[in-house]
Amino acid sequence: MRLRSPTLSPLSVLVAAGLAAGSAPAFAAGADAPANTVVSSSNVAASTLDAVVVTGSRTSNRTVKNSSTPIDVISAEDLASTGQANLLEALQRSLPSLSQIGGYQSDQESLIRGYQLRNLSPGYTLVLVNGKRRNASAYVSGANGGGYPGHAWADLALIPVSAIDRIEVLRDGASAVYGSDAITGVINVILKSQAQGGDVSVESGQSIDGDGSRTSVRANIGLPWGQDGFINLSGESTRQHHAIRTRRYIDGYLSYPAVDADGNLVALRPNNQLPAGATPNPAEAGRDAEANTILSSPSYALRSFALNAAHGIGEDAQFYATATASDRTAQAIQNFRLPATIFGTYNAPSVLNVWPDGFLPVLETKEQQYTGTAGIKGQWGGWDYDASLTGNRNTVRTYTRDSANFSLDYPGAPTDFYDGKLDYQQGIANLDLRRGFDVAAFASPLEVSAGAEYQHERYERGAGQWESYTGFGAAAFVGYSTADAVEATRNSKAVYAGAATNVTSRWYLDAAARWEDHSDFGSVSTGRLTTRFDFTDTFGIRATVSNGFHAPSLGAQFYQATGSCPCGTTLVAQVSSPAALALGATPLQPEKANNYSLGVTWDPSPALHVALDAYQIDIRGQLGQSSQIGYNAQDPERITDNSGTVLSAAQKNTIDALLGTAGISILSGDAFYASYFTNVGDTRTRGLELTVEANQETGWGKLRWSYAANVGRTTIREVRDIPEVLQGLPNINLLTRSSEYALRFRTPAYTQVAGLGWQNGRWRSNVDFTYYGPIKRLNNGVEYKQPPVLVTNLSGSVELGSGWSAALGINNAFDKRTRKVPEHARSASDVASIETTWDTGDVLSTIGTFWYGRVNYRF
């Protein structure tokens, strides 16, 4: 029997949280604790409202309460109390403005997960570690149905939670401060810096179905380094197993090739229907209706390490260094290859001899991530300076396990394939300067900042073994071919300046400007003006206007992928290749943005904080992917394009002429389609964000209330014209209906997060709710909506004494799971083959309720 959670409207959740917060008397739970103090992982987290924040401004005296931009601070204990496997999942539980992508995942994107801040691409969110840029993944979205064509993002799941002191999330554009990628905001990971003590924890749990088990071991220790330094070390190991969920075939759906009157195997008809004069294969009696387990959650083994250290140099300088290293091996189950498909679609009897009952391929990635920064900061000539060198590298090697290449003869051909590697390296040299000047006209010193930065990038895509890409390639994931392999580099340089002051005791003003020049696409200038005015000691208004940009990554500029199947050959052509240029491609340009935000803050007591912010983000030149251009000549009497539209002789000749200039010809009986990355159009995203935090002390314990909500909407303002050379062809566009839905409706219309923490002596507990609003979906060309859903999480802990503590928790207590696609929106092939079509774009996962326990020792 499964418990069912009550149905709450978004208004009722908002009102309940607001009334609870408004009734809280003044109480500041640990507000004066030092920032690097480590509290029990299940503690009622101390208020972070008075914490000095270092993200989004080069000044040094702003807090969450008086910041001129919306900033969230999530403490180490907040992260641990979620009971999540990694940083990405923990942040999703804490911030309604940040959502982990539920759907639109390609094969690799199920392992290298993206996230959305303010409902936009993860490529628009910059990730920092101790204020220094962390690199994006070597993986670029685009192949196999990737959701963000041409975009790459930093993988938050690779950062060890045990190393984190706090997370600062800036929800506003900051390209003028940090450069490319900071269109929607910045996630700054601040590492622990204590010079003594530490902790060790072991956490383990599994799903309510008894699978998907996960065990994490985390450790941290602080050591003194001389009289004024520290070395802080952290390590983490997590093993997550598959939570198996089947895609069950309907009764009567044929899995094996049929048998004709002479006893020979014959191919099935479309949707695996029995051909005339044939009988079902006797093997059907023993078929496994639950053989397809592609809906199962990925499994992985992750090991990560972090170092944070500093040591004084004389009286006015300090050496510092940070480093993180991660190694992850992850597997994602792919679609089951039926015997009927092996025999009929691919005509591969030798493969069927090896796998008479079909086979289940598994995609595996082996990923290494390394980051390191070393620098010196101090004072010289009245200026504060910070000079640093940063090196980042991400390498992803991909394998297809337990699979076959239908073009090869078996036995003897490989069943495991090395598909190739992606490698991205980044080196950064940075100098920051800051000084305060007393100006009589201003109420506080004028803080002037300036700096310069140089960046070198290198990208490589290396070919896999030849069996992984020759012919049809490895089933489930075709390897990178030698024709698609590439090495590329670029350099960029930047200078920037800023100034901030309190013009009056109540009016704060901060301005920043930045100029960057890239060796491939040229220069970009950005600026930002942010201000805050406090009408009273408890009520203030804040506003920001800025422009920003997202540079096209090297991986996007040099992306190329070739695939082949019985339906033909598909090519995602490098944008500067002869094939792409022949089809009207132009060099990729930076995606540029204008950001506007306006907000109010209200602090009626030291224990209550309320903030409401409205924002608008206009993005020009959004990256996307062109239509598939080519035709199917497998039936010489009926030449069709990728949409199945019959082409006229003139249209066919146009395509032949265009591809011919690139040396490509489509032979009779063949099919070929090409596409490329391109800037497709302009979007506008508008939204509202509300945050409420309150602390309360009662006779039966201390309480911390929190509530946050995000409402956002993206619209398409303009779609670029298709290239002139393609305008005479049918079904050519830069933004299909499915692409529009992927761009606009990945996240719910609104998201709300509410929580209550309680502490009384050595006992602590937390309950939090995430209320996902309706989410619009498109399947088989049919639009539908998934209704709102409430997810509830519970946890509690107890201090056992002598440094020991224990915790128990239940995530998704009422077992909310991935929901069904309505019957009217299912495709004919799905209806003919499987019992249920699950909404892989849902915000819910397939795992359901997950319980866990944790033992922690602090010393």
The structure tokens 């083959």 sit at 833
What is the tens place of the pLDDT at every residue in 678-732? 999 999 999 999 999 999 999 999 999 999 999 999 999 999 999 999 999 999 9
Range of the domain at 813: 10-251+289-426+438-516+527-858
pLDDT of 775 over the 60 cut: yes
Least confident of 204-218, 708-722, 735-749: 735-749
One DSSP character per residue, 724-789 reads GGGTTSTT--SS-HHHHHHHH-SS-SEEEEEEEEEEETTEEEEEEEEEE--EEEEETTEEEEEPPE
* C-alpha distance from residue 805 to each of 39, 77, 486 (Å): 11, 13, 52
What is the tens place of the pLDDT at every residue in 611-636? 999 999 999 999 999 999 999 999 98
CB 46 within 8 A of CB 31: yes
Dihedrals φ, ψ of 449, to 5°?
A: -130, 150
What's the number of domains the chain is made of? 1
Q: State which amino acid sits at residue 117.
A: L
> CB under 8 Å to 622, separation ≥6 — which residues?
591, 679, 680, 681, 682, 683, 743
Q: State which amino acid sits at residue 778.
A: L
* Closest to 503 in 3D by CA, of 494, 511, 513: 511
Least confident of 9-13, 437-441, 502-506: 9-13
**What is the CATH number for 480?**
2.40.170.20
Provide the 3-class DSSP secondary structure of residue 706: strand
What is the tens place of the pLDDT at every residue in 474-531? 999 999 999 999 999 999 999 999 999 999 999 999 999 999 999 999 999 999 999 9
In a domain, 270, yes or no: no
59 or 679: whose pLDDT is higher? 679
What is the tens place of the pLDDT at every residue in 231-284? 999 999 999 999 999 999 999 999 999 999 999 999 999 999 999 999 999 999
In a domain, 257, yes or no: no
Give the predicted TM-score (pTM) of the model. 0.90
Q: Quote the pLDDT of residue 1.
A: 33
pLDDT of 22 over the 50 cut: no
In a domain, 267, yes or no: no
CB 63 within 8 A of CB 53: yes
CA distance 775 to 796: 32
In a domain, 280, yes or no: no
Across 118-137, average pLDDT: 94
295 or 102: whose pLDDT is higher? 295
> CB under 8 Å to 13, separation ≥6 — which residues?
707, 752, 754, 769, 771
In a domain, 263, yes or no: no
Per-residue three-class SS string for 597-626: EEEEEEEEECCEEEEEEEEEEEEEEEEEEC
One DSSP character per residue, 233-251 reads EEEEEEEE-------PBPT
Q: State which amino acid sits at residue 346.
A: Y
In a domain, 1, yes or no: no
pLDDT of 394 over the 90 cut: yes
Token pair listed for 522: 């040229």
pLDDT of 35 over the 90 cut: no
In a domain, 50, yes or no: yes
In a domain, 446, yes or no: yes
